[in-house]
Copies of this chain bind each other. A is one copy, B any other.
Amino acid sequence: MRSYGQLCSVAKALDVLGDRWTLLILRELLIQGPCRYTDLANGLPGIASNLLSERLRNLETSGLVWREAAPPPVATTLFHLTERGRAAEPVLVALARWGTPLIADAAPDDAIRAHWVPFSASVFLRGRDPGGVPVTVQLHTPLGSSVIEITTDGVTSRAGAADEPDITLEGMPQVILRLLAGELTVAEAEEQGLVLRGDPALLDAFHLAPA
């Protein structure tokens, strides 16, 4: 990207992060952890191969990503975030929070990946203490199941199922996200097909907790 040439921290950040696809590549590495090239391509439907390759090179030069090259005969490269790359997480969290209302009017043919859901959902739980941590939130969508775990150390999300979730949400990603974002009440979400098990009061605790 061409530099804005402005002595301003926002402009300097955008000089590095502002290229098309760049922040979405960071999203993938933050959610999925170390990725192969094809894992990235798969998590970024629509990206052209030459762009992915070029962006990864730029991110490497900027010090956000490093590549671990396994020697032949394994011959697979793993792309990792550096500390500096992980430091961009608050940018993605802020974008995800701001972007959630836009989920409501998504195009019907939008691409979707199972691992996006727990991340988008978890951004509303970050920095909020609902009281009785640790809390485990189990999500079930037609795409698969995932778990969000809130501990004193922070919020993590992963695919799979938890042993004893405090609350379980089953439904379409759009509905779950808008519920967690506080855009829908539990009643409204249930009208849209959400099935909730566990203590609904826990959701209120999230929204009332200091951000």
Contact = CB atoms under 8 A, between A and B. Distances in A.
Contacts of A93: 94
B106 A7 contact: yes
B23 A98 contact: no
Given A14-B23, A46-B4, A94-B90, A9 B107 contact: no
Contacts of A23: 10, 14, 18
Contacts of A88: 98
Q: How many copies does the complex hold?
A: 2
B10 A27 contact: yes
Contacts of A5: 45-46, 107, 109-111
Interface string A24-52: 10010000000000000000011000000
Interface in A1-21: 3-18, 20
Complex A-B, nearest 10 residue pairs according to Cβ-Cβ distance, in ascending order: A13-B99, A12-B102, A9-B99, A7-B110, A13-B95, A90-B94, A12-B99, A7-B112, A8-B116, A91-B94
Interface of A: 3-18, 20, 23-24, 27, 45-46, 87-88, 90-100, 102-103, 106-107, 109-113, 116, 120, 123, 173-174, 177
